[in-house]
Chains A and B, each alone.
Chain A
Amino acid sequence: MMVNKLDIIEKVKECVIIAGSAFSDDKKEIYGKAIEKETNASAKWMLETTLKNALVAEKNRSPLCDDSGIPHLFLEVGPGKNIDGELLKAIHEGVAEGLRALPGRPMAIKGNDIQRIDQSGGLDIDPGALLPSPVLIKPIKEDILRLHVLMHGGGPEIRGKTFRVFHKHKVSVVTDEIIEWAVEAAGKLGCSPVTLALGIGRSHFEATSLMMEAMIFGNHNIQSKLEKEITEKLNKSNVGPLGLGGNTTALSTFLKIGPQRASGVRIVSMRPCCGIEPRKANVIL
Chain B
Amino acid sequence: MIKIVTPITKELINQLSVGDMITISGFIYTGRDAVLPKIVDLIKLGDFSKYDINLKGSVIFHTAVSPAGVGPTSSNKFEIESSIPELSKAGVKIHLGKGELSQETIAALNKYNSVYAIIPPVTALLNSKTLSRKVVAFPEFGMEAYHLLEIKDYPAIIAAAHGKSIYDGK
List the interface of chain A (C-beta within 8 A of B).
21, 41-42, 45-46, 49-50, 52-54, 56-57, 60, 62-68, 102-107, 122-123, 125, 127, 155, 190-191, 238, 242-245, 274-276
Contacts and interface: CB of A to CB of B under 8 A. Distances in A.
Contact of A68 (B19, B68, B98, B166): B68
A67 B127 CA distance: 14
Given A57-B124, A65-B68, 6 more contacts: A50-B122, A62-B124, A105-B143, A106-B143, A242-B98, A243-B167
A144 B7 CA distance: 59
Interface in B30-78: 63-64, 66-71, 74
B100 interface: yes
Interface in B132-170: 142-143, 155, 157, 159, 166-167, 170
B125 interface: yes
Contacts of B19: 41-42
B123 A57 contact: yes
Contact of B121 (A65, A104, A243, A245): A65
Contact of A66 (B70, B74, B100, B128): B70
A60 B128 contact: yes
Contacts of A45: 21, 157
Chain B interface size range: 20 to 34
Given A66-B71, A105-B68, A190-B99, A53 B166 contact: no
A103 B124 CA distance: 12
B26 interface: no
Interface in B1-23: 19, 21
Contacts of B167: 243-244
List the 7 shortest-distance A-B pairs measured between CB atoms, nearest first: A57-B124, A53-B122, A66-B71, A105-B68, A53-B125, A56-B124, A103-B67
A278 to B, nearest CB: 15
Nearest to A237: B170
A98 B59 CA distance: 34
B74 A190 contact: yes
A243 B128 contact: no
B118 A191 contact: no
A105 B159 CA distance: 28
Contacts of A103: 67-68
Contacts of B124: 21, 53-54, 56-57, 60, 62-64
The listed residue with most A CB atoms (<10 A of its CB), out of B68, B98, B99, B123, is B68
A50 B98 CA distance: 14
Contacts of B68: 63, 65-68, 102-105, 127
A125 B142 CA distance: 9
B21 A191 contact: no
Contacts of A190: 74, 98-99
Contacts of B121: 50, 65-66, 191, 274-276
